[in-house]
């Protein structure tokens, strides 16, 4: 696998493709007497969301207009390959565009993202979805305008899937941030860990850390623009800088970011237990703007399974980190990822997972049924667990974790919490939603006295990205409820 640094000269070629596309879409717009639009379907993790923010920016630069619904002239699918059901969703959705593509001759469909690094998926598009115009893998994202231009010119399906990992200076493809309350900032790409169940190292290539100063510059600008929260992204943020031999480590980066003025909250995802050291937890305990929430995927509570997963830590080492965190970050919260039914998992192994969950008392958890992924080691293991056994175990784990999540929510009743407002609740009007520093989800109301006088209709969007204090009055299974006491930043 080659690693290639993208130069500003390379990006000039991309910029000139953007100019040509601007011209092309302008003519198309004049001919049809309407705006030419784009829409992006995004699946998967925050890294994909961050990639979609870059694709969004590139589309705007080409003169396309964002479509609020999924019927558009340029439709992009930014895919995820982490589990099987992601594939079913993509192919179902692609099928639904067939008739639209026939009736709109100028329509362009492009598919990118992690699924495009799995050969079978690319072949399926070649064979069954000839109306897809362009396919490219996540490492080629910065070339999107160039690829789009070639696919338009050649009028034939273009597939650009390679084995090159590019290092791009993110400032050459600045994202169009889609949220006001949280800015996603990748600090590294790829993964070197090869957990035996996981498709990411294949899909995203080797670890490539971004340089220290450009990250600091980007976040300083974000803080000046008024962002209250940044989320640092990487598959294993604790190994930041190691691939490139930087002198700065992840704790150095966290400390530098915590000194940036105006920034209230810094989150990071994901920490790998094998690389998370006490220094990071010390920083969480002492630096005020580092959030007190640790996402620490455990995957299994059984040492035998952890070894077969190639995780490089054992149960006791994991618990030691948890105990340290709980001892010095008393109001902090811990969440995790757990896989149920990994090949060879016995009832005893599963009991180890249950007892670990009970011991840690996770505030929340993402629980997954093991899904064999093409090209991974574990998919070749012979002792795959029957589906009914997996679902039965999964049900038991979910029940336990739901109780723990509810308990964690109940502990907040009566407290005053600082909440970063994300917007209006999706399930109720006049209710705002946001998160505490410990990542608890809060739905809350604003007393009329705080709504401002004579402003007519309540406008939830004007609160997005603001900080406020909320008195917690009630706990629900997955969230807490409360009443706003005051806005913190006006």
Residue 116 engages ligand F3S in binding (rule: CB under 6 A): no
Contact 267, 291 (CB under 8 A): yes
Q: Which of 200, 233, 397, 467 lies at the binding interface for ligand SF4 (CB under 6 A)?
A: 200
Residues in the chain, total: 490
Contact between 412 and ligand SF4 (CB under 6 A)? Answer: no
3-state secondary structure of 316: helix
Q: Which is nearer to ligand SF4, 181 or 362 (CB)?
A: 362
Q: What secondary structure letter does DSSP report for 299?
A: B
Minimal distance, residue 176 CB to ligand SAH, in Å: 25
In the complex, the smallest distance separating the C-beta of residue 82 from ligand SF4, rounded to whole angstroms, is 8
d(CA 106, CA 24): 11
CB of 283 to ligand SF4, least distance (A): 21
Contact status: 203 vs ligand F3S (CB under 6 A)? yes
Q: In angstroms, rounded to a whole number, what is the distance separating the alpha carbons of residues 94 and 384?
A: 31
Could you tell which of ligand SF4, ligand F3S, ligand SAH, none binds residue 373, using a CB distance below 5 to 8 A set by kind? ligand SAH
Phi, psi of 273 (to 5 degrees): -55, -30
Of residues 334 and 472, the one with the C-beta less far from ligand SAH? 334
- As measured in angstroms, the least distance from the Cβ of 197 to ligand SAH is 4
- Residue from 18, 64, 81, 263 that binds ligand F3S (CB under 6 A)? 81
- Closer CB to ligand SAH, residue 195 or residue 257? 195
Q: Interface with ligand F3S includes 110 (CB under 6 A)?
A: no
DSSP state of 371: -
The CA-atom distances, in angstroms, between 384 and each of 71, 238, 304, 372 are: 41, 31, 15, 9
Q: Which of 130, 271, 119, 132 is nearest to 188 (CA)?
A: 271
Tell me the HSE value of 458 on the side-chain side, using a 13 A CA sphere.
14
**CA distances from residue 236 to 89, 182, 187, 207, 269 in whole angstroms, order as listed:** 27, 20, 10, 9, 7
Residues 381-410 that bind ligand SAH (CB under 6 A): none
User: Is 486 buried (19+), middle (13-18) or exposed (0-12) by CB count in 10 A?
Assistant: exposed
**Angle, nearest 10°, between helix axes 119-128 and 84-96?**
20
The reply to whether 321 sits near ligand SF4 by the rule CB under 6 A is no
Residue 144 binds ligand SAH (CB under 6 A): no
**187 binds ligand F3S, rule: CB under 6 A:** no
CA distance 33 to 7: 38
Instruction: Write out the binding residues for ligand SF4, residues 178-197 only, by CB under 6 A.
Output: 191, 193-195
Question: Per the structure block, which two tokens stand in for 302?
Answer: 């059984």
Closer CB to ligand F3S, 24 or 189, in the complex: 189
Among 17, 25, 38, 48, binds ligand F3S (CB under 6 A): 48
Residue 280 binds ligand F3S, judged by CB under 6 A: no
Does residue number 308 form part of the binding site for ligand SF4 (CB under 6 A)?
A: no
Residue selected from 14, 17, 39, 44 as contacting ligand F3S according to rule CB under 6 A: 44
Residues 6+ apart with CB under 8 A from 123: none
Question: Which among 79-87, 156-164, 409-417, 461-469 is the span making contact with ligand F3S, rule CB under 6 A?
Answer: 79-87
| Contact positions with ligand SAH (CB under 6 A) in 238-297 | 270, 272, 297
279 interacts with, out of ligand SF4, ligand SAH, ligand F3S, none, CB within 5 to 8 A per kind: none
Residue 235 in contact with ligand SF4, rule: CB under 6 A:
yes
Across 239-265, b (16+ Cβ under 10 Å) vs e yields: bbbbbeeeebbbbbbbbbbbebeebbb
Tell which positions 178-197 bind ligand SAH, by CB under 6 A.
Answer: 197
CA distances from 161 to 20, 72, 139, 141 (A): 23, 25, 9, 11
Rounded distance between C-alpha atoms, residue 85 and residue 260, angstroms: 41
201 binds, among ligand SF4, ligand F3S, ligand SAH, none (CB under 5 to 8 A by kind): ligand SF4
Is residue 40 a contact residue for ligand F3S (CB under 6 A)?
no
Query: CA-CA distance, 482 to 161, in Å (whole number)?
Result: 49
Least distance (Å) between residue 141 CB and ligand SF4: 18
83 belongs to the binding site for ligand SAH (CB under 6 A):
yes
Q: Give residues 330-359 in contact with ligand SAH (rule: CB under 6 A).
A: 337, 339
Residue closer to ligand F3S, measured from CB, 24 or 43: 43
Cβ atoms 136, 116 nearer than 8 A: yes
Say if residues 127 and 159 touch (Cβ distance below 8 Å): no
Nearest to 340 by CA among 379, 368, 380, 382: 368
Residues in contact with ligand SF4 by CB under 6 A are: 191, 193-195, 198, 200-201, 235-236, 272
Which residues of this chain interact with ligand F3S, rule CB under 6 A?
A: 44-45, 47-48, 80-82, 114, 199-200, 203-204
Q: Which residues bind ligand SAH (CB under 6 A)?
A: 82-83, 197-198, 200, 235-236, 270, 272, 297, 299, 337, 339, 368, 370-371, 373
């Amino acid at each position: 696998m080659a690693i290639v640094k993208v130069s500003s000269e390379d990006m000039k070629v991309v910029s000139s493709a953007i100019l040509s596309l601007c011209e092309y879409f302008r003519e198309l717009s004049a001919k049809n007497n309407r705006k030419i639009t784009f829409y992006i379907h995004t699946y998967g993790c925050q890294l994909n969301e961050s990639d979609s923010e870059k694709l969004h920016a590139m589309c705007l630069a080409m003169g396309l207009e964002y479509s609020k619904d999924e019927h558009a002239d340029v439709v992009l699918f930014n895919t995820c390959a982490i589990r099987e059901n992601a594939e079913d969703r993509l192919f179902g959705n692609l099928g639904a565009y067939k008739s639209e593509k026939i009736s709109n001759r100028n329509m362009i469909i492009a598919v990118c993202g992690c699924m495009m690094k799995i050969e079978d998926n690319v072949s399926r598009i070649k064979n069954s979805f000839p109306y897809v115009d362009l396919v490219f893998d996540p490492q080629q994202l910065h070339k999107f305008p160039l690829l789009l231009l070639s696919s338009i010119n050649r009028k034939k399906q273009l597939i650009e899937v390679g084995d090159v990992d590019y290092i791009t200076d993110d400032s050459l493809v600045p994202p169009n941030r889609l949220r006001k309350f949280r800015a996603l900032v990748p600090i590294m790409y790829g993964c070197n860990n090869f957990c035996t169940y996981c498709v990411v190292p294949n899909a995203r290539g080797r670890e490539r850390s971004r340089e220290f100063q450009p990250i600091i510059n980007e976040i300083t600008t974000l803080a000046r623009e008024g962002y209250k929260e940044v989320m640092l992204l990487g598959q294993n943020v604790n190994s930041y800088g190691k691939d490139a031999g930087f002198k700065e480590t992840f704790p150095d980066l966290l400390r530098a970011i915590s000194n940036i003025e105006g920034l209230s909250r810094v989150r990071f995802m994901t920490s790998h237990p094998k690389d998370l050291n006490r220094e990071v937890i010390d920083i969480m305990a002492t630096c005020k703007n580092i959030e007190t929430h640790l996402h620490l995927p455990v995957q299994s509570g059984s040492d035998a399974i952890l070894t077969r997963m190639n995780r490089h830590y054992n149960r006791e080492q994991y618990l030691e980190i948890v105990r340290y965190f709980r001892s010095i970050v008393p109001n902090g919260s811990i969440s995790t990822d757990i896989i149920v039914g990994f090949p060879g998992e016995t009832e005893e192994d599963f009991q180890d997972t249950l007892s670990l969950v009970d011991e840690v008392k996770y505030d929340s958890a993402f629980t997954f049924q093991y899904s064999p992924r093409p090209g991974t080691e574990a998919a070749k293991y012979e002792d795959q667990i029957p589906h009914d056994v997996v679902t039965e175990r999964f049900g038991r784990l979910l029940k336990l974790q739901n109780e723990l999540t509810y308990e964690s929510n109940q502990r907040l009743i009566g407290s005053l919490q600082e909440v970063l407002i994300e917007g209006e609740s999706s399930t109720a009007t006049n209710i705002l939603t946001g998160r505490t520093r410990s990542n608890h989800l809060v739905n809350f109301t604003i007393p009329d006295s705080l709504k401002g006088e004579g402003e007519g209709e309540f406008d939830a969007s004007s609160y997005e990205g603001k900080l406020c204090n909320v008195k917690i009055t009630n706990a629900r299974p997955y969230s807490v409820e409360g009443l706003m006491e005051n806005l913190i930043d006006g």
